[in-house]
Structure 1
Amino acid sequence: MEAVTMPGPQPKHPSTRARRNRTSTAATLSADPDLDAPKLPTRLWHEQTRAWWRDIWASPMAPEYDESDRHGLFALAVLVDDFWSTDDAKLRKELAAEIRQQRQCFGLTPMDRRRLQWEIERTDEAQDRGRRRRQATQTPAQTGEDPRDVLRAVS
């Protein structure tokens, strides 16, 4: 029995069918060594908080922050400082939960950056390390070598 084709519209070209789910926040980030970190407000800050603050402003995300973001980062710094300064386990747990919620807004974890569609620019060195790591873990089948080549007849 022969298949019958029904008349109908032609399928769309693949380029017009492709999903375009990129958000307006999508960006490739790179650190700006000339960017100055704002000073933390006057307070006796825990050393871990000061290190966290330096890391944020040295990160590739820092150029994305504008003046209005600094207020939220200052508030987050207070939470981070309280987290490091307390010995109360219950309070520390509550602070950790609030810190997790607040840091999402600033792309401070890999999952947050993924949600914002922020990618950190890859340097040649990082790409080379990844390439070497993948080559070191390849099986003979992946490299095209025949593992039977090592076999020899024994008399």
Structure 2
Amino acid sequence: MQNGISQYFAAIQTVFTIGISMAGRGFVPSGNAKKASRNHAPAAIKSDGFLGGFSLPSAALGRDDNGPPVAWHPRTLAWWDAWRASPQGMLMLTEVDWRFLLDTALLHHHFWSCSSWQLGAELRLRVSKFGATPEDRTRLRFEVEGIEQLRSAQSTTADDGHPSEACRR
């Protein structure tokens, strides 16, 4: 057991000594310690009340064995609409931004409909690029205005989230 622990610590020391990069983006920037090149205040964004992007395409998931198109998972539909209505949705101005989020929606659908929990890390990395969490928004140097109104307007209802039959095959 001692040999295994010492090998682990030797590997960690190697990572820090030679600078092997690991997953993630490092530490969150400190609010107090600002470098000369980063001494600007975070940008404040606020939703304009309009939906950004486009609706999820119905044929994007292909067809079932019997012929009808596969429907998006209810959680993915709600997730997509939340992004479209979010203040971050105003920052996604190009079609490329929305296409990247569409690819992420495909992963999100598979994550929930097939219980593919191993996709969680990739989903987290992809949505962090758009500022999904307060930590992500700090890293991207923007903040959401009117957060109290957003919190009161959010719905707390959720569906059952069970895997669909298509992924049990």
**So what's the TM-score if we normalise by structure 2?**
0.54
SS of structure 1 residue aligned to 2:81: helix
Sequence identity of aligned pairs in percent?
A: 35
RMSD over equivalenced CA pairs, Å: 2.4
Larger Rg: 1
1:19 paired to 2:36: yes
1:95 paired to 2:144: no
Match of 2:156 in 1: none
Report how far residue 72 of structure 1 moved: 0.6
Shift >6 Å, 4+ stretches: none
Q: How does 1:1-155 map to 2 (within 5 A)?
A: 19-22=36-39, 26-42=42-58, 43=61, 44-67=71-94, 68-87=96-115, 91-92=116-117, 94-122=118-146
Bigger shift: residues 104-113 or 32-41: 32-41
Report how far residue 22 of structure 1 moved: 4.5
Distance in 1 (CA, whole Å) between partners of 2:139 and 2:47 is 19
| 1:107-153 CA-partner distances (Å, limit 9, x unpaired) | 11111111001111137x66xxxxxxxxxxxxxxxxxxxxxxxxxxx
Change in Cα spacing, 1:98 to 1:33, as seen in structure 2 (3 Å) is same
Match of 1:144 in 2: none
Distance in 1 (CA, whole Å) between partners of 2:110 and 2:55 is 18
SS of structure 2 residue aligned to 1:61: helix
| 1:56-92 CA-partner distances (Å, limit 9, x unpaired) | 11111110002210111000100110011014xxx31
Report how far residue 35 of structure 1 moved: 3.3
Q: 5+ unaligned residues in a row in structure 2: which ranges?
A: 1-34, 62-70, 150-169
Distance in 2 (CA, whole Å) between partners of 1:22 and 1:103 is 26
Q: 5+ unaligned residues in a row in structure 1: which ranges?
A: 1-17, 127-155
Letter matched to residue 59 of structure 1: S
SS of structure 2 residue aligned to 1:34: coil
| 1:23-47 CA-partner distances (Å, limit 9, x unpaired) | 7xx4211012123441112241000
Distance in 2 (CA, whole Å) between partners of 1:32 and 1:22 is 28
